[in-house]
Amino acid sequence: MDQPVREAAELLGRARRVVVFTGAGMSAESGVPTFRDALTGLWQRYDAQALATPEAFRADPALVWGWYEWRRHTVRLARPNPGHRAVAAIQARVPGTVLITQNVDDLHERAGSSDPVHLHGSLFAPRCSACAHPAPTPDDAEGEPADGRRVPPPDCARCAAPVRPGVVWFGEALPGAALEAAVEAASSCDLLVTVGTSGLVYPAAEIPQVAARLGAAVIQVNPEQTPLDPIAEVNLRGPAATVLPALVDAAWGDPAG
């Protein structure tokens, strides 16, 4: 067994209050494009960062809604990978484990994880752009929206304003309740496992830093070096779909594949 995996397994095996913190690298291994890679086909005519703003939605709601509907359908075609299932296995082994994710997909839930804290919102939680009333997820019966197609958003059932995607756009604050829950979990854990995140997107990148400052051990799973390397007690280099099942197997003899 690889020495770093053995060291990480010892930390995980004795931990009592665990936080798992996941980023885009986790979902990318299921074929979900990262945000900056998400523009393909006719969508390549647009700048992703220009579409993901409140100003873009006000200027052309059908264009922005169409892009997010295309993204949601793309996620629907993806499947949880062994890394997602390993996170669910950690939650099953260590009661009270808190999962915090920067991803806006539902792959953790489909893998069996319960109550993830979605720091950046969710593609599956649309809400009114005016009164914030929750709206139902659109029916997939009509199939995938055409690449590059404008799709008018539905109207809010409460106030008739356009419904918007339930994600955090550039220039918007993180959801207060989600951020508070994440900081509280990081402040009280004895182990934080950070997976597939660059450590560059703030304020989310502060979560592992909070845990480390307050004495928790940090395990990082990432194929590349990141700004989180210096605070991690163990750095596991490799893809989450490979490393996390090996970590679970080493900790409890229960491969999560």
The whole-angstrom separation of Cα 61 and Cα 83 is 35
pLDDT digits (tens, 9 = 90+) for 55-89: 999 999 999 999 999 889 889 999 999 999 999 99
pLDDT of 39 reads: 61
pLDDT digits (tens, 9 = 90+) for 16-48: 999 999 999 999 999 887 766 656 665 677 788
pLDDT digits (tens, 9 = 90+) for 108-135: 999 999 999 999 999 999 999 999 999 9
CA count, 13 A, side-chain hemisphere, 175: 20
Percent of the chain residues past pLDDT 70, beyond the cut: 91
Mean pLDDT for the chain overall:
91
Residue 216 burial (CB < 10 Å; 0-12/13-18/19+)?
A: buried
Binding site members for substrate: 68, 71
Letter for the amino acid at 64?
V
Query: Structural domains in the chain?
Result: 1-31+80-120+174-257 (3.40.50.1220), 33-77+123-167 (3.30.1600.10)
pLDDT of 43 reads: 65
Q: What amino acid positions are annotated as catalytic residues?
A: 120
Its pTM stands at 0.92
DSSP state for residue 66 in the 8-state scheme: H
pLDDT of 33 reads: 78
Q: Are 97 and 91 in contact (CB under 8 A)?
A: yes
pLDDT of 124 reads: 95
Question: b or e along 176-212 (b: 16 or more beta carbons within 10 Å of the residue's beta carbon)?
Answer: eebbebbbebbeebbbbbbbbbbbeeeebbbbbbbbb
